[in-house]
Structure 1
Amino acid sequence: MRDPDFRRLFAATALGQLGDRVIFLALPLVAIAALDAGEFQVGLLTAMTTAGSLLVGLPAGAWVDRMRKRSVMVGADFVRALVLLTIPVAWWLDLLTIWWLCAAALVHGVLTVFFDVAYVSYLPHLVGRGNLVEGNSKLSAIRSVTSISGPAVAGPLIGWVGAPVTLVASSAGMAMSGLIAIGIRKRERKPEPSASERPRLGRDIKEGLKFVLKRPVLRAVMLGDAIFNLFLIMYQTMLLVFLERRIGLESFGIGLILSGMGCGALLGALVAAGVSRRIGQGRVIWLASLVTCPLTVLMPLARPGWSLYVAAIGLAALSLGGVVRFVAQASLQQALTPDRLLGRMSATARFVSWGGIPLGGVLGGASGSVFGSAATLWIGAAGMTVSALPAFLSPLRTMRELPEGKDAEPVR
């Protein structure tokens, strides 16, 4: 935190994530409350939000590796701000439909892919490889703080001015994030390929895939993430529907539940580095999921009253375990990857890990329509728990320290 450039990245992250957390609550509530969307339409909206990982997941890494990461982050922030601003404008003009929402969510999601790939690739350059765990922990901490404050602010704001207008706050957060990131002084050199290695998209994508898929540790992390994210999105797609229609919560109450999840995420960020040191950076990746994911079954068992508060604690535990796991595996992936492949590693990991998220949104909506929101929460809880298996069955089961030597070298 004594590094002024890291402080700027920290502040930009805080504002961008605050905008994202408002979107997380406001966008589905625009569909549910303002447009009276059905369960399947809510699932389709969720799918569009994350479809960018499938559409541009792999080429994004190759493109980002040819550009300055900071410039990609700034550009993505500004364009996302404009896209979000179209939703309240369309609402004011009485033009807003579920298809408009889906289109805005899709464009926003594609831009988020580019931002996230650049962001993950930029951190080792900014803080150095020896500080990755600390850097990831601090950035996870601020993301967790915004997970608390975002829904806590968004809930009352939605109740006061309505979900569409609340998205103006998200747009402003994205724009301010981009403005602060412009001030980061530590610049990268623009990657310059040698004359004998002219950029070729197909070859670059293949090299990134080969690097990731030939390493058992990275494969296990990605497969576990893919399973977890698929069922998490199924769960989250019906969570707001369950809370609003089965429990009878209004936007303020839903915001409090999501803020509780943010509290768990903040605690996870604070303890992540210490837990990794004590348990081992490899073992904590599967243990975090195995211990916390089963607690999510408390939500479909909940009813208005004390059982809902207990279920909210289970969601907070899920967030705690998720952040501990994220810090450990993100630091592992960054440490194992050469600088020139960071963008492609990040994009490949995102493509594999997040590729099933749109499917999860559609399956969540379809399951909610057929079986109901409570049954879908049960399915999601079971699937998230199973996601610990790939890491448990890999070298991560006993790994305490990062691999060294040939495992950190690129594969050609």
Structure 2
Amino acid sequence: MRDPDFGRLFAATALGQLGDRIIFLALPLVAVVTLNADEFQVGSLTAMTTAGSLLVGLPAGAWVDRMRKRSVMISTDLARAVALLTIPVAWWSGLLTIWWLFTVALVHGVLTVFFDVAYVSYLPHLVGRDNLVEGNSKLSAIRSVTSISGPGMAGPLVGLLGAPATLLVSSAGMAMSGLLATGIRKREHKPVPSARPQLLRDIKQGLKFVLKHPVLRATVLGDAIFNLFLVMYQTMLLVFLEREMGLGAFGIGLVLSGMGCGALLGALSATRVSQRVGQGPVIWLAPLVTCPLTALMPFARPGWSVCAAAIGLAGLSLGGVVRVVAQSSFQQALTPDHLLGRMSATARFVSWGGIPLGGVLGGASGSVFGATATLWIGATGMTLSFLPNFLSPLRTIRALPNEKDPVLAP
């Protein structure tokens, strides 16, 4: 935190994530409340938000590896700010439709893919490989703080201004994040292009590296299962809380802020827990211990039981952050510098590729079986996501390795 450049990245992350957390609540509420969307449309909106991982997930890594990561982060932040700004403008003009939301969600999602690939690839350059766990922990901590404050701010703002106008705050957060990142002074060397750059060859190289590596393959497959069922769960969670529990925007914001509290606790304890449990075992133990707690939500009824269910969601967030900090550090440590972008993009493509499907399945399941049954399905699937990591070398690896470790060679 004494490093000025890391401090600027930390502050930019805080503002960008604050805007993103507000989107998480406000965008579906624009559909549910303002446009009176049905369950399938809400699920489709979630799918559009995450479809970028399927559309550009693999090429993004190859492209980012040819560019300065800092420049990619700045330009995508500013572009996302402009895209979000169109929603309140369209609302005030009387032009806002569900198709407008789908379009903005898709554009925002594609830009987010490029931002996230560059972000993950930039951290080893900025802090050095010896500081990856600490750097990831600090950035996870600020993301967790915004997970608390974002929904906590979004609930009252939606109640006061309406969901479309609340997205102005998200747009401002993204823009300020991009402007702060321009102050980072440490520059990367511009990647030297190959004599005959070939996009398909570069994509294949990234895919081969990740899918043949026993540890990287296990982490992305575990993530893919977890994310598929998490999105099914989240898609119907807002519908369940708003329509079956009778919570308004403020109450939903409090529940989501509780998840942020769990994430903050996870970020603050991630390094200590990983050291005590082991860097590898913590990756599969975290979902096995915390995901079953999400089954408390479909048990809930209006009243005090919602508070108990919210504690279960906080436990999910705690375990998720502990896992992601350890997992991200493994992925970065095991990847050579010239493959960081492609590793990140491939991991995101495999891990997030099922998210649009999860949104559609969540909406379809909610329409056929109801929101409560869909929450049960999501809780079961998230718990089973521990299996790929448990059945890999991560079961016994206690220390963070490096890309030259012969035991973990692909």
1:355 Cα deviation from its structure 2 partner:
0.1
1:38 Cα deviation from its structure 2 partner:
0.1
SS at match of 1:299: helix
Name the residue aligned to 1:318. 316
Structure-2 separation of matches of 1:409 and 1:282:
14
Structure-1 separation of matches of 2:122 and 2:305:
43
Name the residue aligned to 2:328. 330
Structure 1: 5+ residue runs without aligned partners?
none
TM-score between both structures, scaled by the size of structure 1 = 0.98
Structure-2 separation of matches of 1:232 and 1:59:
25
1:406 Cα deviation from its structure 2 partner:
3.7
Name the residue aligned to 1:382. 380
Alignment of 1:177-192 (within 5 A): 177-192=177-192
Q: What's the CA shift string for 1:194-237, capped at 9, x where partnerless?
A: 43xx2110110011111111111111000000000000000000
Name the residue aligned to 1:64. 64
Pair 1:369–1:141, CA change in 2 (3 A): same
Name the residue aligned to 1:50. 50
8 A contact 1:211–1:411 mirrored in 2: no
1:304 Cα deviation from its structure 2 partner:
1.2
8 A contact 1:336–1:408 mirrored in 2: no
Name the residue aligned to 1:340. 338
SS at match of 1:300: helix
1:193 Cα deviation from its structure 2 partner:
2.6
1:189 Cα deviation from its structure 2 partner:
1.1
Structure-1 separation of matches of 2:147 and 2:343:
27
Structure-1 separation of matches of 2:408 and 2:125:
18
Q: What's the CA shift string for 1:101-141, capped at 9, x where partnerless?
A: 00000000000000000000000000000000000000000
Fraction of identical pairs, as percent: 81
Structure-2 separation of matches of 1:29 and 1:212:
37
Name the residue aligned to 1:366. 364
* Structure 2 residue identity aligned to 1:244: E
Name the residue aligned to 1:164. 164
The number of equivalent residue pairs is 410
Pair 1:409–1:121, CA change in 2 (3 A): farther
Q: What's the CA shift string for 1:137-173, capped at 9, x where partnerless?
A: 0000000000000000000000001000000000000
User: Which contiguous aligned blocks of 4+ residues in structure 1 show a shift greater than 2 angstroms?
Assistant: 402-412
8 A contact 1:212–1:348 mirrored in 2: yes
Aligned mate of 2:233, from 232, 235, 246: 235
SS at match of 2:363: helix
Structure-1 separation of matches of 2:240 and 2:157:
21
Q: Does 1:87 align with 2:67?
A: no
Name the residue aligned to 1:130. 130
1:399 Cα deviation from its structure 2 partner:
1.1
Alignment of 1:115-264 (within 5 A): 115-195=115-195, 198-264=196-262
Name the residue aligned to 2:289. 291
Q: What's the CA shift string for 1:360-412, capped at 9, x where partnerless?
A: 00000000000000000000000000000110111111110133464489999
1:306 Cα deviation from its structure 2 partner:
1.2
Structure 2: 5+ residue runs without aligned partners?
none
Structure-2 separation of matches of 1:26 and 1:49:
13
8 A contact 2:335–2:403 mirrored in 1: no
Q: What's the CA shift string for 1:267-323, capped at 9, x where partnerless?
A: 000000000011111100000000000000000100111111000000000000000
